Structure 1
């Protein structure tokens, strides 16, 4: 699991004083940086080889300004050329949002998905979420 602590900024609040719902997906993207670095160690856009196929966020509780938010990030599933990244935003011991992003290892020149290399797959596997591993094991039995 990866952890990122974010200090919400005043500009991220809405008219009601809560963190705006458009901010959480940006925090989740920022928390995916360690995963991005496996694929693109330079983090340079010209070297980029990932695309987003899907993003979903469930808002469970209000997030407040002036209180740190912990973003927890795991891998939910690793496919041949894609992976699902599951994330949670926690504030004051409460899970306030959950999300999932499906990302594809992509060759922009060929305009096609490409297999995730074995060395990267191995690093990603170290961060598979336990309940996803248990669910996959039960399906195999």
Structure 2
């Protein structure tokens, strides 16, 4: 089952991520699990870009679901262009979507995926409203 990326979304960040030799499996292409690392790194790069550190504190971001559609094989050596989009911001969450291409073929989608992030009060162990300075980054 392929999960579709919504048309109505906002581009918020682009990351260049190198494919490492160790990312490949015995079949000579990037292991499927590694795509989730690329998506995670792109999401962290975006959060870092506006000063939100993803370190443990009293509150922070938690990923509550994630998916990836594998469309074409990727192999070493390569540099990936991972575009990060957001959609559907709510009081406590936001959907993130990623499109993975090669820097040498930016118009060819090799994979796409995403995750839902929720702001969590770690002390209360429940979802909480985004801090206003972070929520302002999600305005679509």
TM-score (norm 1): 0.80
Alignment of 1:13-92 (within 5 A): 13-37=24-48, 41-46=52-57, 49-91=60-102, 92=105
Aligned equivalents of 1:39, 1:3: Cα separation in 2: 13
- Structure 1 runs (4+) deviating above 3 angstroms are 34-43
Question: Compared with structure 1, are the counterparts of its residues 89 and 2 closer, same or farther at alpha carbon in structure 2 (3 Å cutoff)?
Answer: same
Q: Among 123, 126, 137, which residue is 1:112 paired with?
A: 126
Aligned equivalents of 2:91, 2:109: Cα separation in 1: 31
User: Which ranges in structure 2 are unaligned for 5 or more consecutive residues?
Assistant: 1-11
Q: Among 77, 95, 100, which residue is 2:109 paired with?
A: 95
- Cα deviation code 1:7-42 (max 9, x no counterpart): 101100111111111101011101112443489734
Aligned equivalents of 1:114, 1:76: Cα separation in 2: 19
Aligned equivalents of 2:110, 2:19: Cα separation in 1: 14
Higher Cα Rg, which structure: 1
Larger % of helix: which? Answer: 1
Aligned equivalents of 1:35, 1:25: Cα separation in 2: 15
1:71 to partner: Cα distance: 0.5
1:132 aligned residue: none
Task: Give the conservation status (yes or no) of the 8 Å contact 2:54–2:60.
Answer: no
Root mean square deviation, CA, Å: 2.0
The yes-or-no answer on 1:12 pairing with 2:23 is yes
